[in-house]
Amino acid sequence: MTWIINLKVKVIGNVYDKLHNWLFPIDEYARDIVTIPRYNYINSVPFQKVVLDFLAWKGIDKKGNVTSNRVYATHIEILENQTALAKCGFSTGKYIEKLVVSEFLEMKERIPDLNPVLFAHFLDNSYHNSKLTKFTNLEAQKSNQTTKEYYDRLKAFLIEIQSFFEVEDLRTRIECNHTENPNLGNCFKYEEFITAFAKIDLNCDELGRFSMTYFINPHLKELIGESLGDTLGKRFEELTNCKMEGFIKMVPLNRRYDKWFKEIQTIPNYKVTVIEQNSL
């Protein structure tokens, strides 16, 4: 039982760490905050209520026993659940309900003493919208695959451009995979790729659908020259005017790009890499 107690202590401790990590070491008004969807950051209290509701309604009792006694929620309980879902940014509980039950049963096999309260803390601490992708329909899964492929190609193109420069800042890239670092608190962003002249994000919404956002440094051509600047600009225009239309858009940074580029390098879990000149 000692390891169960230790697990509980660690999980609860991580919950508070998570809340602390939401406050990045950047001034609130100096962040990339112009267009942040309301579901970027999960509200812990209603999220845990949603988890506990779905488990109880599936017949899982307070001790974590899986029973055949499905509980039918009252009208008031359903409304309260919908309110909690809305506070967390979910427009529907369709996929999150499937995720809650699926992950609980899977974890229950590894931790027989698992109970709903402990599990709610765990899922709250590890939740990311990308967990919902496995429950989406075939059309959404194909769209997600296409979006990810375009993101990877664009990332490779930016890396290729970087190899042409002598200035180290222009050869510096910053990356973060938010599915590997859920304690950063952002359950909407999937991956981020940042250079001194452009940034791209791969995102996942509360329905498990991928999209891309980007921003180009206003001083792009001053930094990388007219020719490369035009080439990069056309590359983004092609994306927004092809079948990716509706899945990719420009999101303003609304602050000095050069200062933000330096500050983002100090945030934990953001990996900074300097590539060799002409390495590709």
Burial class (CB within 10 angstroms; exposed 0-12, middle 13-18, buried 19+) of 182: buried
pLDDT, greater one: 94 or 214: 214
163 and 104 inside one domain: no
The domain tally of the chain equals 2
Alpha helices in 58-133 (DSSP H): 75-88, 94-110, 116-126
76 and 166 inside one domain: no
**Single residue among 101, 126, 151 that ends a domain in this structure:** 126
266 and 143 inside one domain: yes
**Single residue among 57, 91, 126 that ends a domain in this structure:** 126
Please give the biggest Cα pair distance in the chain.
Answer: 68
Beta strand pairing call for 248-250 and 210-216:
parallel
21 and 94 inside one domain: yes
Residue 224 belongs to some domain of the structure: yes
- 138-149 residue pLDDT tens: 999 999 999 999
191 and 247 inside one domain: yes
Q: Give me the pLDDT at residue 276, please.
A: 86
The structure tokens 């055949």 sit at 68
112 and 147 inside one domain: no
- Range name among 6-15, 141-150, 196-205, 249-258 with the lowest pLDDT average: 6-15
22 and 58 inside one domain: yes
Residue 174 belongs to some domain of the structure: yes
DSSP label at 209?
Answer: -
Residue 35 belongs to some domain of the structure: no
Residue 183 belongs to some domain of the structure: yes
117 and 191 inside one domain: no
Residue 117 belongs to some domain of the structure: yes
Residue 91's CB is within 10 A of a number of other CB atoms, namely: 11
Report for 4-18, 28-42, 159-173, 238-252: range of highest mean pLDDT:
159-173
200 and 268 inside one domain: yes
187 and 59 inside one domain: no
Portion of the chain with pLDDT greater than 90, in percent: 60
pTM of the model: 0.78
The answer to whether 207 and 227 are in contact (CB under 8 A) is no
Residue 132 belongs to some domain of the structure: no
| Structural domain harbouring 158 | 138-274
pLDDT band (50, 70, 90) for residue 2 = very low
Residue 232 belongs to some domain of the structure: yes
Alpha helices in the chain (DSSP H): 2-21, 44-57, 75-88, 94-110, 116-126, 138-162, 220-224, 226-241, 257-264
Residue 38 belongs to some domain of the structure: no
143 and 120 inside one domain: no
Beta strand pairing call for 210-216 and 198-204:
antiparallel
Q: For residue 121, is pLDDT > 70?
A: yes
**Single residue among 106, 126, 146 that ends a domain in this structure:** 126
148 and 267 inside one domain: yes
- 157-212 residue pLDDT tens: 999 999 989 999 999 999 999 988 755 567 899 999 999 999 999 999 999 999 99
